[in-house]
Structure 1
Amino acid sequence: MRDGGSTATGVDDAAAGGAAAQAARQPAAGFEPHRHRDAAVGEVHTRPFRPVEPPRVLHHMAFESRFDDGSAYESLARFCRAHGALPPDPAARHHIVALGGAELRWELHTEFTTMTLSVAPPPGDPFAAPNIASLAAFLPKAPGPLIVATRLALIHAGEDVPDLGMFDPASLSASEVDGGAAIVATDFRPDASGFTRILVASRDLSPGRAGALVQRLLEIETYRTLTLLGLPEARRLGPVLDTIEAELTGLIRQMRTEAGFDSSRELLARLIDLAAGIEAEAAAASYRFGATRAYWEIVEQRILSIREERVQGFGTLESFLARRIKPALRTCETVEGRLDDLAQKLARTSNLLRTRVDIELESQNRDLLDSMNRRARQQLRLQQTVEGLSVAAVSYYVVGLVGYLAKGGETILGLPFDPTVATAAAVPVSVLVVWLVVRRIRRGHREGD
């Protein structure tokens, strides 16, 4: 595979778009192009079908990666420079490196990166090729863990069904595709080299139709594996949901048997913790379950596009995948439904408990207001008592002043009246005047309030 390194070339998606992609970059005269027009127009050219002529063997691998992680691009760029090929454009999501008689196809997806190495088959068995470890030493450095590894052999065939003895008969699927122009067979099982095997026996496939069929079959294998990544997440969440449901049931029973503000507040705090846990699990699993549904839809679309027809004595790819994958899909849907249902139950229970807490708070506030009213009435009575005493005290002092004035008038001025009589006469007058003054002051306070 290394003999073509000196003649390596690189082709990215910008060049693969050809004249159409170039024309899309030209702004229409007199009009300002939309900022995403180039991306929208060129999207249909980012992953074109590559013509393939039999015999050919394609080693296809998918690795976990992030779309915004530059490690996949950097690894490919180093590989291209090491083999004398042009590195991809930094914004490219598709790149092809020609290595003499071999060809490496690199594609960047949202959560995975694929590398497909196309070579001439070895003599004899087309699947007698290097294992994963041997290819890892030749291909660009993997950006993440391996998800998919499949080897597709495209061979010539006659009208009869080719020998399928290399496959496990228990899971073997074989069908005619593309209007009978080819026969496809696979058992979806990894062989000793670590690759699943797909055999495509061409009867009357043109290079273009063969390239389209090969790419769709590789996509079926890739996306059916990615579809099943949701199953481990569903299995992980099962015991978690069982625990939360059991705890929620216990809290609901406790709500029915216990009352009181402190108990309700403690139950509400525990419910909030459970709700936070459910929301965290739902947020972590929502992407995986959504991706599972999306990947399965792609698998179904690709199966329809190859136009399968049953071969006597064998099951089709569609029937095999539906029988094995749909139970996993239903498991994921069930767990996702349990997540939503449990979140709603927790929300309803929290609302009920919060209502109880609010009612208990209102009852406490009512009792507090009653207590404040009683204290206010007591203070009012005390104030009225103090005001009555103050009238007597002020009157006493006023009468005393009158007495002093009367005595002074008799002694100094020699007025003909008895000071004792004058003092006694001043008592009712002083009390009445002081009482009127206090009453007026109280009335002014009430009007001000």
Structure 2
Amino acid sequence: MVAQSGGMLMREGPRRFADHPLRNAALHEVHARPFHMIEAPRLVLHYAFMTDTAQSDAARRNLAALCLRIGEAQPGPEARHHVVALAGGSLRWESHAEFTTYSWDVRGGTGALPAETPFGAAFEPPGPLMVAARLDLVADLRPPAELFAGFDPGSLAASQAAGGRALIATDFREDGDGFTRLLVVDRGLGPQEAGPLVQRLLETETYRVMAMLGLPEAQRLQPEIRRIETQLVDDTRRFRSGGGFDTNRLLLDDLTALAGDLEAGAAESAFRFGASRAYAEIVSLRLNAMDEQPIEGYSSFTAFLARRMAPAMRTCLTLEQRQQDLSRKLARAAALLRARVDVELSQQNRALLHSMNHRARLQLRLQQTVEGLSVAAVSYYVVGLVGHLAEGAPVLGLHIEPTTIEALAVVPVALAVWFLVRRIRRHHADGGEA
């Protein structure tokens, strides 16, 4: 930017704006886990350990301590990947959502393992082992039949990759050292092509195993789902046959319990099934990125994994769909049964109110009868008092027949008592205080 000041031209630097808190993370994510350029002959040992947050943090601290001892740069407190030169090769550490991986590559090839590796007695695994793979990158022009002789022919998968400049093969079985063997034959690869190909193969093996974790979960849940489906059919049949309020209430309790069991299983398996789908999709993406081409007489990686992984993924998907369908069916059945229970409860309440009204009317009649008797009794006593007063009239010089006075007092006294009782009843009926 050029500005004019006092007749002179001044050049200003670009204006610096305030960064968004996530800008740095978004910019650098594209450079996360970069490809490591390698060339044949090369041996790669790859491990994946299941880790939670605490175990992943412990693995980072252990790696930082190792880097400090050997004088290498340490990973940052929030680092998700780190590369360090170790034991004559390169050790790559990566932290993922639910697992941590270590990949160590060194110059070598097919044959015995090196005497010294980073995974000796001093190595502290951060969690239980899930993946152990050995990849050999070699430059060899022999025919495929000779190159693949060490693999199990019954489960061998082999293909051309990188436009035919590489052969890849594996039988997905463990060798005597506990590794799944992967072979990459360099037929013209450059270091910038060999590194991505090796990394994608290792990622394919890792995510293939991780995706299969959904199958045991689906197999574990199948008997429970079947039990809930059978119980729902029985409860629906009992619902159709009808029943009283108590029967329907018990059915509703059964449906609520079944829904609770189903939702508990769905909550437990939701992450596992979702992760398996994501891992299977990553496997497919990695296979597509390798530009795989079939070799005559051999099953390709894509075909082999589709034949073995696809049924497992369909099992997980089918069970997840059964959970969702069963949840909707339980909700509809519970809603219908709840409506019937509400109707029956309303009928019971109406009958109860009718009975209460009937009892209230009876009490009112009884009260009216008691009021009438009370008026008569009180009037009788008041008239008696009037008669006693009349008997004392001669003392005052009055000569009045008491019987006559009592007879004349009956009607006024009865009216007065009736009026007083009626007023008291109205006062109480209006909620007033006595």
Q: Same fold (TM over 0.5)?
A: yes
Kindly report which structure 2 residues correspond to 1:40-439, keeping only aligned pairs within 5 A, or say none: 40-69=26-55, 70-99=57-86, 101-121=88-108, 126-129=110-113, 136-137=119-120, 140-158=123-141, 161=144, 163-257=147-241, 259-409=243-393, 411-439=394-422
Q: 1:116 to 1:134 in 2, by over 3 A?
A: closer
Distance 1:294 1:150 in 2: 21
TM (norm. structure 1) is 0.85
Q: Secondary structure at the match of 2:44?
A: strand
Is 1:158–1:203's contact at 8 Å kept on the other side of the alignment? yes
TM (norm. structure 2) is 0.88
Distance 1:281 1:347 in 2: 16
Distance 2:35 2:122 in 1: 21
Deviation at 1:231, TM superposition (A): 0.8
Deviation at 1:89, TM superposition (A): 1.7
Compare 261-270 and 231-240 and name the one that shifted more.
Answer: 261-270
The root-mean-square deviation of aligned C-alpha atoms, in Å, is 2.5
Is 1:75–1:140's contact at 8 Å kept on the other side of the alignment? no
Is 1:173–1:187's contact at 8 Å kept on the other side of the alignment? yes
Distance 1:216 1:32 in 2: 38
Is 2:87–2:118's contact at 8 Å kept on the other side of the alignment? no
Distance 1:103 1:447 in 2: 95
Deviation string, structure 1 residues 325-383 (Cα, Å, up to 9, x no partner): 11111111111111222222222222233233323322332222222112211110111
Deviation string, structure 1 residues 391-412 (Cα, Å, up to 9, x no partner): 2122223322332333333x12
Distance 2:111 2:350 in 1: 84
Pairing 1:38–2:60 present? no
Residue matched to 1:22: none
Q: Secondary structure at the match of 2:155?
A: coil
Percent identity reads 52
Is 2:87–2:117's contact at 8 Å kept on the other side of the alignment? no
Q: 1:376 to 1:127 in 2, by over 3 A?
A: farther
Distance 2:151 2:21 in 1: 51
Distance 2:82 2:180 in 1: 24
Deviation string, structure 1 residues 19-59 (Cα, Å, up to 9, x no partner): xxxxxxxxx95533222222222212220111111110111
Q: Secondary structure at the match of 2:30?
A: helix
Distance 1:95 1:138 in 2: 22
Between the two proteins, the alignment pairs up a number of residues equal to 417
Deviation string, structure 1 residues 410-448 (Cα, Å, up to 9, x no partner): x12323543322221121222233334444554555666
Compare 369-378 and 277-286 and name the one that shifted more.
Answer: 369-378
Deviation at 1:67, TM superposition (A): 3.7
Q: 1:101 to 1:417 in 2, by over 3 A?
A: closer
Q: Secondary structure at the match of 1:88?
A: coil
Distance 1:423 1:255 in 2: 75
Distance 1:286 1:392 in 2: 81
**Structure 2 unpaired stretches of 5+:** 1-13
Amino acid aligned to 1:144 = G
Q: Secondary structure at the match of 1:283?
A: helix
Distance 1:139 1:59 in 2: 17
Distance 2:423 2:128 in 1: 92
Distance 2:40 2:275 in 1: 34
Amino acid aligned to 1:329 = M
Q: Secondary structure at the match of 2:153?
A: coil
